[in-house]
Amino acid sequence: MIWPLITTALTSCAVTWLTLRVVRRWQVYDEPVGRSSHERPTPTLGGLGIIAGTWAGYALWQDQAAAIPIGSYGSIAATLVVLLFVLDDAGRPLAVWEKLLVQIAAAVAVCAGGLVLSGLTVPGLGHIELTGLWAWLVTGFWLMALMNIYNFMDGIDGIGSVQAVTAGSWFTVCLWAVGCPTWPAALVVVIATAAFLPFNFPPARIFMGDVGAMFLGLQFGILAVSGAAVGLPLWVFAAIFGYYLFDVSYTLLRRALRGENLVAAHRLHLYQRFVQRGWSQRRVNGGVALLNVVLGAGVYLLTGLGSIDGLASAKMAGVLLVALAMAVLLAAAITVEVDDRRAG
């Protein structure tokens, strides 16, 4: 069991190091612009290390546990499609419609490989069966949403990697708790990203780029669908990603109310605004990690997957932890809004 993880870490680290050497020689840099959170040209394409490490781990684990559907031809094809984002990172920016087509192609590849949602469990409404085209549409929307959300939120050094390691660890725990055969795949993604994190932690030596962010969003989307196949509701994974979902939803709503272009690049995410308020990027990353730990623990207990000795109700503890995390997020949003009004 340990060798796939060691191979994953070594491959991710080695490919990231090699990519860093190559992109420096070829001068493949993310140049800072007005909306950037970095101040100097920084090498990109580091996500190739995460991708290489992940698939090295998948390949070895596939030999030991052939039931892992993460290595299906659909998932392989989707990864190859996502590699087209290398063009965007390497200096040939993709238009919005081109990015959308790539995401659609990746989602279709996953669905064509047989990994689709058979239903949705909605709290308060029960279970909704999905068949045929509806199953493909809902699955595709979920995968594309995760890809876009992950890409939107990768705006400061280390945040995407920290999110993958912390939230991904809870993905792993929840999948393992329900006996889902893809739980080792979730662990592989976490280890591959953890090996990349030292290169990406503030001050970053290399960015994961769109290719890395899109790949991580796709993998977590696939893992959530595989978990839903064994009875773990999709909302569980959405809740574990609660911080990312909150920040993206809050930012989109705020910009929509102001009549701004929703697809234009910006620096208005909650985490970016805290950096602008004087927080260091390391401090913001620490806050994100802590929020994910609290949210993940809360969701784990709320779903009844875990229990705490000495407490009358583990679910109540879960509710309190999730409520605490959401209260912190609401307080943070209110704080920056109040400060903006005072400054304006």
Q: Which residues contact 172 (CB under 8 A, 6 or more apart)?
A: 183, 186, 187, 190
Q: What is the DSSP letter of 204?
A: P
- What is the secondary structure of 264-305 as a DSSP string? S--S-SHHHHHHHTT--HHHHHHHHHHHHHHHHHHHHHHTTS
Average of per-residue pLDDT across 218-237: 92
Q: Which domain holds residue 181?
A: 2-343
Q: List, for residues 57-89, the tens digit of each pLDDT value.
A: 988 876 554 444 555 788 889 999 999 999 999
- Identity of residue 68: I
* pLDDT, tens digit, 9 for 90 and up, residues 146-155: 999 999 999 8
Task: Kindly tell me if the per-residue pLDDT of 141 is higher than 70.
Answer: yes
In this predicted structure, the answer to whether residue 332 has a pLDDT above a threshold of 50 is yes
Name the residue among 341, 323, 335, 152 with its Cα closest to residue 252. Answer: 152
Region 265-284: mean pLDDT is: 91
- Name the burial class of residue 264, with classes exposed (0-12), middle (13-18) and buried (19+) by CB atoms within 10 angstroms of its CB: exposed
pLDDT band of residue 93 (cuts 50, 70, 90) is: confident
- H or E stretch covering 334: helix 314-343
Structure confidence at residue 65 (pLDDT): 47
Q: How confident is the model at residue 290 (pLDDT cuts 50, 70, 90)?
A: very high
pLDDT digits 0-9 by tens, 158-188 = 999 999 999 999 999 999 998 888 898 999 9
For residue 311, the model assigns a pLDDT of: 54
Domain count of the fold of the chain = 1
Q: What share of the chain is helix, strand, coil (3-state, %, to 5)?
A: 70, 5, 25
User: Do 199 and 246 meet the contact criterion of CB atoms below 8 Å apart?
Assistant: no
**Nearest CA among 201, 336, 344 for reference residue 268:** 336
What is the pLDDT, as a whole number, of residue 321?
94
Better-scored residue on pLDDT, 40 or 165: 165
The secondary structure element, H or E, covering residue 127 is strand 126-129
pTM flag (> 0.75): yes
Q: Residue 66 has what pLDDT? A: 45
**CA-based angle 226:145:252, to the nearest 5?**
150
Mean pLDDT of 249-263: 88
Average pLDDT of span 235-240: 94
* Dist. CA 13–CA 340, nearest whole Å: 41
